[in-house]
Amino acid sequence: MFNEIVTYFCCVSIVIMLCLVFFLLFRINYFRKLSETDSMTSLMNYHGIFNNIEKLIRHKTPFSLTIIDIDNFGIFNKNSFKLGDDVLKEFSVLLRNALPENALLARFRIGDEFLVVFKNRNLQEAKDEINKFKEACMKYPFSSLQNFPGHSLSFSEGFSEFTPKISSVEDLFSEAEELLRITKSQKLKKQKV
């Protein structure tokens, strides 16, 4: 009888401990995901995308990345911050739906910048995907802009590709940001002409 009671309590203790372990693992995973996710768009945030890119570099997985910056975003925020937030949310949904499923997406640094990582795609393939997305974006009837006549949504982009010469995530970001600056300045010159 005594052995049966001891066995029973041992089994109950093991079950309780396993439940606690699973609960703690769930909570750790939940908080990790929360720390890597942008609360407004549900895309990854800077921390999340940075960690994913570091893994790709460590495993020498080929990839290209694109930084996207919504053009003249300040116009939307000047109208109201809610309009700006709505545009960001709608843009992120379109981005998620229009790009390949295995693309990594993040809201990047400044509020109206996004980062797309195309795994196992070279620079030209990434540019082709972004050009398709650009066309989809131009045709898409943004419901957030219904009461904002005369404005459509466009964006500028900068690209980089992981090569053996690249030693860090920052190098990739710097290259893409430089090309983004060039693209934006060329657009501004065309607007002034």
Cβ neighbours for 136, distance < 8 A, ≥ 6 positions apart: 94, 98
41 domain-assigned: no
Q: Do 119 and 142 belong together in one domain?
A: yes
Read off the pTM. Answer: 0.81
Helices (H), ranges, the chain = 2-35, 46-58, 73-79, 81-98, 123-139, 169-192
Helix axes 169-192, 46-58, angle to 10 degrees: 120
| Within-domain flag for 40 | no
> Both 66 and 3 in a single domain?
no
Same domain (yes/no): 70, 144:
yes
pLDDT at residue 4 is higher than 70: yes
Residue 45 tokens read as 């945030």
Tens of pLDDT, residue by residue over 46-96, are 999 999 999 999 998 999 999 999 998 888 888 888 888 999 999 999 999
pLDDT digits (tens, 9 = 90+) for 166-189: 778 899 999 999 999 999 888 877
> At 126, is the pLDDT very low, low, confident or very high (cuts 50, 70, 90)?
very high
CATH of the domain at 146: 3.30.70.270
Q: Which of 4-13, 46-55, 105-114 has the lowest mean pLDDT?
A: 4-13
**What is the span of the domain harbouring residue 165?**
46-192
In-domain check, residue 111: yes
The CA distance from 131 to 73, in Å, is: 20
Q: How many domains does the chain have?
A: 2
**Are residues 110 and 188 both part of a single domain?**
yes
Q: How far apart are the first and last CA of the chain?
A: 95
- CA distances for 63 relative to 19, 39, 67, angstroms: 40, 26, 14
Question: Are 120 and 179 within one domain?
Answer: yes
Residues 131 and 63 grouped into a single domain:
yes
